[in-house]
């Protein structure tokens, strides 16, 4: 009799966890080097999947998105990037520095200038986002410089904090 109650509790817990995982939050593992030095390989991130139902992504948000090259298939690869420009912004990479609306950006989360080619001024369309990895060394990030801007439908959620390893736990 005891095991039936235990089994019923476990089934309900799994159902509730499945619903929360599908609609509210997710845990994601960092793979690759595109977000170094902010994030490193194998760190676990808490992903808030609900946040963008209430407001739009903002400059500086670290987001998880479906790889635009592969599309939003259930098995598609997820990328982690930083929103650097939003709809209406003009982004430019000049002399290996990022400029938004002609203002040179202070980016304390990077450890180098942009190692790749400069980018001519480009205005981001409304409802679109320009994302980049924090690793600005040449060829280290697959981001909007390669696949262009992204829409809200490609965004899975916002990475709110590192949950593992415990020694690296931090808000993003």
The mean of the pLDDT values for the chain is: 88
Give 103 or 24, the one with higher predicted confidence: 103
Contact 64, 78 (CB under 8 A): yes
Instruction: Look at residue 63 in the predicted model and tell me its pLDDT.
Output: 97
Domains present along the chain, CATH in parentheses:
27-171 (2.10.109.10)
3-state helix, strand, coil in the chain (%, to 5): 20, 35, 45
As annotated, the active-site residues are 34, 81
Residue 27 has pLDDT above 90, yes or no: no
Stretch 148-157: mean pLDDT: 94
- Of 9-18, 25-34, 105-114, where does the model show the most confidence? 105-114
62-117 confidence digits (pLDDT tens): 999 999 877 655 556 889 999 999 999 999 999 999 999 999 999 999 988 998 99
**Tokens 């200038």 -> residue:** 113
Strands 62-66 and 78-86: antiparallel
Residue 44 has pLDDT above 80, yes or no: yes
| pTM (2 d.p.) | 0.85
DSSP string covering 65-87: EE-TTT-S-TTPPEEEEEEEEET
For residue 94, what are the CA distances in angstroms to 1, 36, 107, 122? Answer: 71, 22, 15, 12
């Amino acid at each position: 009799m005891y095991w039936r109650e235990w089994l019923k509790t476990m089934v309900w817990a799994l159902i509730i966890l499945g619903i929360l995982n599908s609609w509210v939050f997710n845990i994601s593992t960092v793979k690759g080097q595109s977000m170094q030095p902010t994030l490193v390989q194998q760190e676990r991130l808490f992903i808030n999947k609900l946040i963008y139902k209430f407001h739009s992504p903002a400059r500086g948000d670290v987001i998880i998105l479906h790889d635009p090259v592969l599309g939003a298939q259930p098995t598609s690869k997820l990328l982690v990037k930083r929103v650097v420009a939003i709809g209406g912004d003009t982004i430019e990479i000049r002399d290996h520095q990022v400029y938004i609306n002609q203002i040179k950006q202070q980016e304390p989360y990077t450890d180098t200038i942009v190692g790749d080619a400069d980018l001519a001024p480009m205005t981001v369309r409304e409802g679109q986002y320009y994302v980049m990895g924090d690793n600005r060394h040449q060829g280290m990030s697959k981001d909007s410089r390669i696949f262009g801007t992204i829409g809200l439908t490609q965004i899975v959620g916002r990475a709110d904090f590192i949950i593992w390893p415990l020694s690296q736990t931090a808000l993003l």
